[in-house]
Chain A
Amino acid sequence: MARVWKFGDDVDTDQIVPGRYAPYMTSEAEFFRYAFIEHRPEFAQNVRPGDIIVAGDNFGCGSSREYAPLALKKLGIAAIIANSFARIFFRNAINLGIPLFEDRAAVSALADGEEVELDVANGLLRTASGQIQLRKPPAFVQEILAAGTIVDYLRRYGRFPGE
């Protein structure tokens, strides 16, 4: 089972990993422990691999820091479901192979702390009250995720998505 960590609108990258805890300021082995350090200090301590983040509008707005989604990946976040994502965060997370779903109905149906089961490949979410079929990401995103990461994609196909 996976725990739902629910957040509100406009969660910015300074909340996900503040700039002063960047790998540049701390270390590669350490920075991800500061995920949501001020915004939600219990997160990094209690999150378990496989958990999912659920958020409102514009998740990940702000800076281009890839270490924000990388911290979530290192902590084992299996997917992020939000009403919408900020542009650079969306791209960075997909590049790192973190499945993202934009699905307003699912967001409103899910509560913080809820235990769910996620079948990422089929976008199927099982909750105590039933099943939720998540909206599929665009085709080029599915292609990247199927390869693993954008680096895996480029190494495998020797070309860019859409080329």
Chain B
Amino acid sequence: MAEPKTLAEKIISRAAGHEVTAGDLAVVRVGMAMSVDSIAPSVIKIMREELGVPHVADPERVAIFIDHVAPACNVATAEGQAVVRRFVLEEGIRHFYDVGRGICHQVMVEENLARPGEVIVGSDSHSTSYGAIGAFGTGMGATDVAIAFATGRTWLKVPETIRVQLVGDLPRGVMAKDAALWLIGKLGIDGATYKAVEFHGAHRLSLASRLSLCCMTTELGAKAGMVAFPREELEARGLPAWLYPEPSASYEQTVEIRLDELEPQVASPDDVDNVSPVSEVAGTRIDQVFIGTCTNGRLEDLQAAASILRGRRIASHVRLIVIPASGRVLKEAIADGTMLALLEAGATIGTPGCGPCIGRHMGVLAAGEACFSTGNRNFRGRMGSADAAIYLGSPLTAAATAVVGAIADPRSLL
């Protein structure tokens, strides 16, 4: 009899067409292979010139996004994007999302391109996000994605799994991002290297919160981060009947997060695991606040920020950059008044996409500046000058920080 399996083992077994367990090498069918403007030119070149494969195996299982530098900021990026658009036309790729549609990970979920129970590979490390809807999403490099484009398949080592049990409810002023940062602070930025993370008890959180959690497992080094849905809820949620981890599956370790005892958390420079409760860094002066990214640029996040900013003004020395994760999020935030509240508070709005998250445009930092971001990485030099400081936290903490002009506990402003 087959051993009781984790979610990762079950999904990979299906995609491989035979039973596998942690430690096995598996060759799997790829449900969707995803790439983005900054990497796709290399993927195309590797596929055609190095592998010698002229066409993608199945255009229906390829998705491409212009999001990392959208719109283009210089001639090099404009030319890269032109290469991508030409490829998309030549290959008849339908799942192509150009400037303004939004960040790959958000749109993959909005457009149902990442499907529950499938293995999804992306040329972007935060492809772990798709675990929020029950897919095994994993980030790979240009060569691996080129191989997936060319063959519709990939190979991987079946990971061990860390089980994370969420207990209780998030208190007012505390968000899923805080839980993710707390976990990274506890396990460290290599705490889940080569492993999968399975969240139990996260099915009660909103999709936006689940995406935040799964996205951040990349900062633990994880191969995938997935929400375990209870067996009895699968049907109602439209998920495959087999998509549950077996109760006696074997885990590398189990970690508990007491949501009800959690405070807002902040990651200080220069590593994502340099995490402390907001009280320890409160008062640190901030020049720029950035609300956006695949971690925290969704409607729920913008609404959270607006709940603090509505009727208030940001501090005079602060610039607040808000970039919705997708065009759809932008429209919804306009329709419900969230955007107006943010603008009236002093925010400036950027084209849906990655924005300044990776330090290429729309909010690059100067030496000596400090930024508070709702993104997922605070590595030195990530957002611009190597002598700029990046702090990470939730949209609520970011909004409070923008109002005060220094890192602030959002609970004092709610």
Chain A residues packing against B (C-beta within 8 Å): 10, 12, 14-15, 18-20, 22-27, 38-39, 57-58, 61-67, 69, 84, 86-88, 91-92, 95-96, 140, 149-151, 154-155, 160-163
Cβ–Cβ < 8 Å partners of B25 in chain A:
140, 161-162
- Which residues does chain B contribute within 8 Å of A38, judged by CB atoms? 380-381, 386
A14 CA to B189 CA, complexed, in Å? 15
The one of A15, A23, A91, A92 in contact with B379, judged by C-beta atoms closer than 8 angstroms, is: A15
A65-B39, A66-B143 known; A24-B27 Cβ under 8 A: no
Count the A-B residue pairs with Cβ separation under 8 angstroms: how many?
137
Evaluate contact between B153 and A160: CB separation under 8 angstroms.
yes
User: Is B380 within 8 A of A160, CB to CB?
Assistant: no
Residues in B neighbouring A163, C-beta threshold 8 A: 27, 155
Interface residues on B, range: 35 or more
The answer, yes or no, to whether B382 is at the interface (CB within 8 Å) is: yes
The residues of A that contact B253 with a CB separation of less than 8 Å are none
Per CB-CB distance, the 10 closest pairs between chain A and chain B, nearest first, are A162-B25, A66-B141, A38-B386, A92-B141, A58-B190, A160-B155, A19-B358, A14-B379, A64-B125, A64-B139
Q: Which of B354-389 contact A (CB under 8 A)?
A: 358-360, 364, 377, 379-382, 384, 386
| Residues in chain B near residue A39, CB distance under 8 A | 380-381, 386
Of all chain A residues, the one with the shortest Cβ separation from B270 is: A12
The answer on a CB contact under 8 Å between A84 and B143 is: no
Given the contacts A14-B381, A66-B42, A25 and B141 also touching, CB distance less than 8 Å:
no
Q: Binding site of B, secondary structure by majority: helix, strand, loop or mixed? A: loop
CB within 8 Å for A24 and B377 given contacts A58-B189, A58-B221, A84-B193: no
Asked whether, in the complex, the Cβ of A88 is within 8 Å of the Cβ of B139, the reply is yes
Residues of A within 8 A of B381 (CB): 14-15, 18, 38-39
List the B side residues contacting A63 at CB < 8 Å.
Answer: 124-125, 358, 377
In the complex, chain A residues whose CB is within 8 Å of the CB of B358? 19-20, 63
Q: Are A150 and B143 in contact (CB under 8 A)?
A: yes
Are B190 and A61 closer than 8 Å at their CB atoms? Answer: yes
Tell me if B190 and A57 are in contact (CB < 8 A): yes
List, sorted by A's number, 22 A–B pairs whose CB atoms are closer than 8 Å. Answer: A10-B190, A14-B381, A20-B358, A20-B359, A20-B360, A23-B41, A24-B77, A25-B74, A25-B77, A27-B76, A38-B380, A62-B125, A64-B139, A64-B141, A65-B141, A84-B193, A95-B143, A140-B25, A160-B153, A160-B155, A161-B25, A161-B155
Q: Please, which residues of chain A bring their CB within 8 A of the CB of B271?
A: 10
**Residue from the set A15, A84, A151 with the largest chain B CB neighbour count within 10 Å:** A151
Q: Are B27 and A162 in contact (CB under 8 A)?
A: yes
Q: Which residues of A contact B364 (CB under 8 A)?
A: 20
Taking the closest CB of chain B, its distance from the CB of A28, in whole angstroms, is 9
- Shortest A76–chain B CB gap in Å is 19
| Interface stretch of the complex, out of B45-53, B92-100, B170-178, B236-244 | B45-53
- Among candidates B50, B68, B190, B380, residue contacting A84 with C-beta atoms closer than 8 Å: B190
Q: A24-B37, A61-B189, A162-B27 are in contact. Are A87 and B155 (CB under 8 A)?
A: no
> CA of A86 to CA of B377 in the docked complex: distance in angstroms?
15
With contacts A39-B380, A160-B27, A160-B155 taken as known, whether A24 is within 8 angstroms of B69 at the C-beta atoms is yes
